[in-house]
Amino acid sequence: MRTRKEGRLRRHGRLRNRVVGTAARPRLCVFRSLKHIYAQVVDDTSGQTVAAASTVESSLRASLKSTGNVEAARAVGKLIASRTREKGVEQVVFDRGGFLYHGRVKGLAEAAREGGLDF
């Protein structure tokens, strides 16, 4: 019997076969735990992280009531969008990391779109 984590990792592996970040259009990957949510924009051709944001950062954590809800995910989405646009990147490929596109993952994606990222 597979665990939930193993199932998510299998889904993530299938996604990664199709989703590849380039220099022109890097990959916005999302990871969520019970307490936090993390996002980073990665150029897979060079293996470099263009920008990153998470609820672990003290600047974000101070302004949030809780770090494990949709409101926190939206804050991370806006922050990753602004940091990515500062680097001159407008278009990304979204990698949901094997998680369902629902709740916190969806909130982060919508906030990143509102912040100016195109995907």
pLDDT in the model for residue 7 = 95
pLDDT in the model for residue 38 = 98
pLDDT in the model for residue 1 = 73
Q: pLDDT tens track of the chain, all 119 residues?
A: 789 999 999 999 999 999 999 999 999 999 999 999 999 999 999 999 999 999 999 999 999 999 999 999 999 999 999 999 999 999 999 999 999 999 999 999 999 999 999 99
Q: Is residue 40 included in any domain, yes or no?
A: yes
Which residues span the domain enclosing 80? 4-114
Please tell me the total number of residues recorded for the chain in this structure.
119
Q: Is residue 71 included in any domain, yes or no?
A: yes
Cα distance between residue 113 and residue 80, in whole Å: 10
Q: Is residue 25 included in any domain, yes or no?
A: yes
Q: Is residue 119 included in any domain, yes or no?
A: no
Cα distance between residue 17 and residue 51, in whole Å: 22
Q: Is residue 52 included in any domain, yes or no?
A: yes
Q: Is residue 87 included in any domain, yes or no?
A: yes
What's the predicted TM-score (pTM) here? Answer: 0.94
Quote the number of domains for the chain. Answer: 1
pLDDT in the model for residue 85 = 97
Q: Is residue 23 included in any domain, yes or no?
A: yes
Cα distance between residue 66 and residue 57, in whole Å: 13
Q: Is residue 73 included in any domain, yes or no?
A: yes
Cα distance between residue 26 and residue 65, in whole Å: 31
CATH number at residue 95: 3.30.420.100
